[in-house]
């Protein structure tokens, strides 16, 4: 595993960027704002109900596909419905809470420690890098620009720009073609088992799952990734898997 491939396709959110580590804190702050504006509304209870509804919302593949292309609209629907169930039918407050939550998520997203150094080292070693990310064009492109990531990659595929998202085989085919590499000499790295890893493996690419919290594979996982790492830093580490 010390030998590097000709090309590596790397996911953005929760692989290069810590995009989800702040979720609980962001919801807590957004729910506190809702409680401040709605007399009698319990922020903790609201947060608990939202968490339950969020899990249901994103458990459906089609809702996920549509929702990730307009996260603001999806968040507004989640907050509006949850508050309605708690007896609060103020659409303006719900919309404001959703806007605050998404703004906090954007503000608090951070590069994982060592991510840039890893990308630089891989390029120094001659690996051709491609970035692959699902989601709407504008916010995903803004993240790439904010963190100065574009110059590390020879090709970038954003779902909202490309017209298809992972695990659609066209995403992987486009990246392979642009990088001028073959599937058998390429790795794909990401935190989403279905989209990033198994989608790539179906295309003949070596699939590497990033499991930063060391949760291990879900109990209902029907397949195993080719490799499991805790951080993309392990791509250049002699002790890569765990």
- Listing from the earlier edge strand, what are the strands of the sheet with 227-229? 155-158, 128-133, 7-11, 186-190, 206-210, 227-229
pTM: 0.93
Q: Tell me if 242 is assigned to some domain.
A: no
Per-residue pLDDT band for 237 (boundaries 50, 70, 90) equals: confident
Q: Are residues 80 and 173 in the same domain?
A: no
Q: What is the pLDDT of residue 242?
A: 37
In whole angstroms, give the CA distance from residue 78 to residue 53. Answer: 7
Q: Are residues 101 and 141 in the same domain?
A: no
In total, how many domains does the chain have? Answer: 2
Query: Sign of the CA dihedral 173, 206, 17, 120?
Result: negative
Q: In which domain, by residue range, is 200 found? A: 7-19+110-236
* Region of 75 on the Ramachandran plot (φ > 0 left; ψ -120 to 50 alpha; else beta): alpha
Report strand pairing: 155-158 vs 17-18. Answer: unpaired
Question: Of 108, 137, 158, at which residue does a domain stop?
Answer: 108
Cβ neighbours around 39 below 10 Å, total: 6
Q: Are residues 29 and 78 in the same domain?
A: yes
Question: Of 52, 76, 108, at which residue does a domain stop?
Answer: 108
Residue 133 has pLDDT above 70, yes or no: yes
Which pLDDT tens digit goes with each residue over 178-235? 999 999 999 999 999 999 999 999 999 999 999 988 889 988 888 999 999 999 999 9
Q: Tell me if 194 is assigned to some domain.
A: yes
Q: Are residues 75 and 127 in the same domain?
A: no
Query: Sign of the CA dihedral 167, 173, 179, 180?
Result: positive
Q: Are residues 116 and 50 in the same domain?
A: no
Q: Which two tokens stand for residue 73?
A: 């609209």
Q: Are residues 211 and 232 in the same domain?
A: yes
Which pLDDT tens digit goes with each residue over 86-109? 999 999 999 999 999 999 999 999
Question: Of 108, 127, 161, at which residue does a domain stop?
Answer: 108
Q: What is the pLDDT of residue 238?
A: 55
Q: Tell me if 181 is assigned to some domain.
A: yes
Beta strands in 65-154 (DSSP E): 110-111, 128-133
């Amino acid at each position: 595993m010390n030998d590097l491939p000709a090309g590596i396709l790397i996911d953005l959110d929760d692989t290069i960027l810590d995009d989800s580590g702040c979720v609980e804190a962001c919801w807590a702050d957004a729910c506190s704002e809702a409680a401040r504006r709605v007399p009698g509304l319990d922020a903790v209870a609201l947060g608990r109900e939202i968490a339950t509804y969020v899990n249901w919302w994103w458990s459906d593949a089609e809702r996920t596909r549509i929702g990730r292309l307009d996260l603001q609209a999806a968040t507004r629907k989640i907050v509006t419905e949850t508050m309605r169930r708690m007896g609060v039918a103020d659409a303006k407050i719900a919309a404001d809470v959703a806007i605050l939550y998404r703004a906090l998520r954007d503000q608090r997203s951070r590069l994982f420690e060592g991510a840039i150094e890893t990308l630089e080292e891989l390029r120094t070693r001659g690996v051709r890098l491609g970035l692959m990310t699902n989601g709407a064009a504008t916010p995903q492109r803004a993240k790439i620009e904010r963190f100065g990531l574009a110059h590390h990659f020879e090709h970038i595929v954003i779902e909202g720009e490309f017209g298809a998202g992972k695990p659609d085989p066209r995403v992987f085919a486009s990246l392979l073609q642009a990088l001028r590499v073959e599937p058998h000499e390429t790795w794909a790295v990401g935190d989403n088992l279905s989209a990033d890893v198994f989608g790539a493996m179906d295309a003949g690419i070596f699939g590497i799952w990033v499991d930063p919290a060391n949760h291990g594979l879900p109990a209902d996982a029907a397949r195993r990734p080719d490799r499991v790492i805790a951080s993309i830093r392990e791509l250049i580490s002699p002790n890569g898997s765990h």
